[in-house]
A and B are shown apart, each in its own frame.
Chain A
Amino acid sequence: MSSKIKEVFSKVHAQNRKALITYIVSGDPDHKTTIDIMHAMVGEGADIIELGIPFSDPMAEGVSIQKGHERALEKGASLNDTFELVKEFRLSDKKTPIVFMGYMNTFESLGAKLFMEKAIAVDLDGILIVDMPPEESSDFSREATKANIDIIRLIAPTTSSSRAKKICSQCSGYVYYISVKGITGAANLDADDVKDKVSELRLHTDLPIAIGFGIKDAASASSVKDVADGIVVGSVFVDLIGEADNIIDKVSLKTKELSEVLN
């Protein structure tokens, strides 16, 4: 397990709060601003940053994040460029865990071995490949384990208890619970259902559990935070970035607001 991810969850437990995991698309709106946004987020209380790897066909994303992917691709963003970007970020931040979240085809464009070499070089902490369920993940699982990089896996409201147990056994870093049947930014969060499912999940794993997909604002974050170790927020940030003006200020303010809710 990445020591930085482990430290984050130990720290938030000791401080009796929840980890704030923020998602943005790498290269949205451009390379340099992404780095500035990452530093600003950390400054206002983000504990872990998930960088979306831009893809032409982001099947699990809602409209907000789809647009982020399209903006980033227009600027020529890519997986290779994201490694460069993390390298630059690491010049002044060696502590904040970074997770790449994306789709199989872009990760495979490098191949598992080369990917892990580059990941080690920039001190990457984890990967979350949305369309790579455990059954389809042999190369990346094997190489990630060797490289000591976490494979974060998704559990959905549709996942059976026995399957959840199997997924947890092949997961490291944290378990990502998808809070809604739907795509990112969906509006149909059912807090009671999330609480039940996450409590059940605790029977299968000692890993920290992060909740995401349907968390749009402070109110929805607050409604499910009690059962979680961390909350993932993405669409709302990508929307703010899409507004294109005063991005850093807006993102900072939103990060602060969410971080306060989780304290």
Chain B
Amino acid sequence: MSEELMPDKNGRFGIYGGRYVAETLVPALEELSEQYELIKNEDKFLKEFKDDLAHYVGRPSPLYFAKRWTELLGGAQIYLKREDLNHTGAHKINNTVGQILLAKHMGKQRIIAETGAGQHGVATASVAARHGLECIVYMGEEDIKRQSLNVFRIKLLGAKVVGVSSGTSTLKDAMNEAMRDWVTNVDDTYYIIGSVAGPHPYPQIVRDFNAVVGEEVLEQSKSVIGKDPDMLVACVGGGSNAMGLFYPFIEKKNVRLIGVEAGGLGLSTGKHAAPLNDGKEGVLHGMRTYLMQDDAGQVIETHSVSAGLDYPGVGPEHAWLKDIGRAEYESADDQEALDAFKELTRVEGIMPALETAHGIAYVKKVAPTMDPNQSIVVNVSGRGDKDINTVASIEGIEL
């Protein structure tokens, strides 16, 4: 295996990935690839990126030993990678800090983005504000309803939120609309995709900018755990926080990589967002990957309690890691995620995002089956403040 070379020059991870877009965007994507390859190893760019990660985002984020939770579960030692402590509250900011520098390097004046839970919208609006660039965020009308807090945050940051009511009015439709904007305004606009998804080179760019998460864990494990962790766990929607954590560990075959998809109402009900568990190969949003679709090739509606995982596709590198058996993909359903959300909050005083809670739910299941000399690092990809309304409404509480 030559993971270091992935994606190949055509943007493929095995058979996945690629660049399935209308011709108008092909030259724009080629330009993006060229510019990215040009600056990604430049000292000036790397210094600026690292400075921003340190002083704007607040990196490195701690690798925290969850002592009480470890005792409660009674198995493997559990460590939390605290991406929830980043500025704006999630791992999403790592990528936007990098991409906005790329946008400026390319002389683009207008920034667009799609968002599901609103975290990527907030992260994009924040860096656009900081660099004084116009910013438009596309968001499904359904998500606008369930993530009203983040919608308001995005507006306060000076960005414009455009509601999308086509299709299922969720993240996938927001991404369609952002693509339509980009194709129309391709000369002056930079599209900051928020996950390791979309046409090449986005899965690569977003992975590289999030890889700081895994690189820090690699380093921190030495002193905090004293050895490599035995297992890494992260939730997977599009898969950016998982890819960022996994990537620096791909060659370390002694470390198990576990992605946790949204099981929604249960895999057997079909109402979920777990394409790696229960989808099949297809093409959407410019990439070949696993998709939730029917026999006629129509993308089907997904379900998850967390808006950020409510996406019918998944990053192509995950599809590839699944097929070659390097990473394993599990699922946690809505109820398991809600239970995990509450447990981590009560036991450690750390309130995870509902997306993150899917990874937490898997740790709840797997840790007790493991030996106390073993260790798990789970990525707390975001904090749960944005989900308080959702959790309250499920409990029938009016705030």
Binding site for B on A (CB under 8 A): 55-60, 62, 66, 70, 73, 78-80, 103-109, 130-133, 135-136, 153-160, 163, 167, 178, 181-183, 186, 188
B297 with A60: CB separation less than 8 A: no
B383 within 8 Å of A by Cβ?
no
Instruction: Check A57/B22 contact, CB under 8 A, given A105-B297, A109-B297, A158-B186.
Output: no
Q: Which residues of B contact A80 (CB under 8 A)?
A: 296
Please name the 8 residue pairs, one residue from A and one from B, whose CB atoms are nearest each other, closest first: A109-B297, A156-B24, A106-B297, A182-B184, A154-B23, A104-B283, A158-B27, A131-B20
Given the contacts A56-B167, A66-B166, A181-B186, A105 and B19 also touching, CB distance less than 8 Å? no
Task: Say yes or no: A57 contacts B186, CB within 8 Å.
Answer: no
Q: Which residue of B lies closest to A110 (CB)?
A: B297
Contact A181 B299 (CB under 8 A): no
C-alpha gap A184/B166 in the complex (Å)? 16
Asked if A105 and B184 sit within 8 Å, CB to CB, the answer is no
Look across to chain A and name the residue whose beta carbon is closest to the beta carbon of B21: A131
Which of B22, B23, B186 has most chain A Cβ within 10 Å? Answer: B23
> Digit string of B170-203 for contact with A (CB within 8 Å is 1, else 0)?
0011001001100111110000000000000000
Chain B residues within an 8 Å CB radius of A154: 22-24
Is B291 positioned at the interface, with any CB of A under 8 Å from its CB?
yes
Please, which residue of chain B has its CB at the minimum distance from the CB of A155? B23
User: Closest approach, in angstroms, between the C-beta of B43 and any C-beta of chain A?
Assistant: 31
Check B282–A105 contact: CB distance below 8 A.
yes
Contact B20 A55 (CB under 8 A): no
What sequence of 0s and 1s flags, for each residue 20-59 of chain B, a beta carbon within 8 Å of any chain A beta carbon? Answer: 1111111110000000000000000000000000000000
B393 at the interface (CB under 8 A from A): no
20 A-B pairs in the complex with CB atoms less than 8 angstroms apart:
A57-B284, A57-B299, A59-B22, A59-B176, A59-B179, A70-B166, A104-B283, A105-B299, A106-B296, A106-B297, A108-B283, A135-B10, A156-B24, A159-B23, A159-B26, A178-B24, A181-B187, A182-B184, A183-B180, A183-B184
**B237 an interface residue at 8 Å Cβ cutoff?**
no
B175 CB to nearest A CB, Å: 9
In whole angstroms, what is the CA distance A109 to B179 when docked?
A: 23
Complex contacts, B268 vs chain A, CB 8 Å: none
> What CA separation (Å) do A157 and B183 show in the bound complex?
11
Asked whether A56 and B27 contact (CB < 8 A) given A135-B10, A135-B19, the answer is: no
Apart from A57-B285, A59-B21, A158-B28: 15 A-B pairs, beta carbons within 8 A: A59-B22, A105-B283, A106-B298, A108-B297, A109-B293, A109-B295, A131-B21, A136-B20, A153-B23, A156-B23, A163-B26, A167-B23, A178-B23, A181-B186, A181-B187
Interface string of B43-78 (1 = CB under 8 A from A): 000000000000000000000000000000000000
Within 8 Å of chain A (Cβ to Cβ): is B308?
no
- List the B residue with the shortest CB-CB distance to A55: B298
Q: How far is the CB of B149 from chain A (nearest CB, A)?
A: 28
> Could you tell me the distance between the alpha carbons of A80 and B295 in the complex, rounded to whole angstroms?
11
User: Residue on A with the closest CB to B281?
Assistant: A108
Q: How far is the CA of A188 from the CA of B180 in the complex (A)?
A: 14
Residues of chain B within 8 A (CB-CB) of A186 are: 184
Chain B residues lying within 8 Å of A105, measured Cβ to Cβ, are 282-284, 291, 293, 297, 299
The smallest beta-carbon distance between B108 and chain A, in angstroms, is: 15
Contact, CB under 8 Å: A109 / B296: yes
Within the complex, what minimum Cβ distance (angstroms) separates B180 from chain A? 5
Q: How far is the CB of A200 from chain B (nearest CB, A)?
A: 15
Return B251 CB to nearest CB of chain A, in Å.
29
- Alpha-carbon separation in the docked complex, A78 to B293 (Å): 13
Residue from A57, A109, A131, A163 within 8 A of B27 (CB atoms): A163
User: B296 near A78 (CB under 8 angstroms)?
Assistant: yes
Chain A residues with Cβ under 8 A from B179's Cβ?
Answer: 59
Determine the chain B residues whose CB is within 8 A of the CB of A132 once the complex forms: 20
Contact A108 B296, CB 8 Å, known A136-B20, A159-B27, A183-B180: no
- State in angstroms the CA–CA spacing of A182 and B182 once bound together: 8
Q: Decide: B19 and A136 in contact? CB cutoff 8 A.
A: yes
Which A residues touch B26, using CB under 8 A? 133, 156, 158-159, 163
A184 CA / B179 CA spacing, docked (Å): 13
Residues of B within 8 A of A70 (CB): 166-167
Q: Which of chain B's residues has its CB closest to A178's CB?
A: B24
B266 within 8 A of A: no
Tell me the minimal C-beta distance from B244 to chain A in angstroms: 26
In the docked arrangement, what's the CA distance between A156 and B284, Å?
21
Chain B residues near A163 (CB-CB < 8 A) = 26-27
Once the chains are docked, how many angstroms separate the CA of A159 from the CA of B183?
13
Residues of chain A contacted by B172 (CB below 8 angstroms) = 57
B166 lies within 8 A of A60 (CB): no
B293 touches A181 (CB 8 A): no
Give Cα A163–Cα B25 distance, bound, in whole angstroms.
13
At the interface, yes or no: B286 with Cβ under 8 Å from chain A? yes
Task: Give the chain B neighbours of A131 by CB distance below 8 A.
Answer: 20-22, 283, 286
CA gap between A66 and B166 in the complex, in Å: 8
Q: Which residues of B contact A183 (CB under 8 A)?
A: 180, 183-184
CB distance from A170 to the nearest CB of B (A): 12
Q: Which of A79, A109, A154, A186 has the most CB of B within 10 A?
A: A109
Contact B282 A108 (CB under 8 A): yes
Distance of A183 Cα from B183 Cα, bound (Å): 7
Query: Closest CB of chain A to B185's CB: distance in Å?
Result: 8
Q: A159 vs B26: C-alpha distance in the bound complex, in angstroms?
A: 8
Tell me which of A59, A66, A135 has the highest count of chain B C-beta atoms within 10 A of its own C-beta.
Answer: A59
What residues of chain A lie closer than 8 Å to B184, measured between beta carbons? 181-183, 186, 188
Chain B positions within 8 Å of A59 at CB level: 21-22, 176, 179-180, 285
Give the distance in Å from the alpha carbon of A57 to the alpha carbon of B24 in the complex: 17
Whether A56 pairs with B298 at a CB distance below 8 angstroms is yes
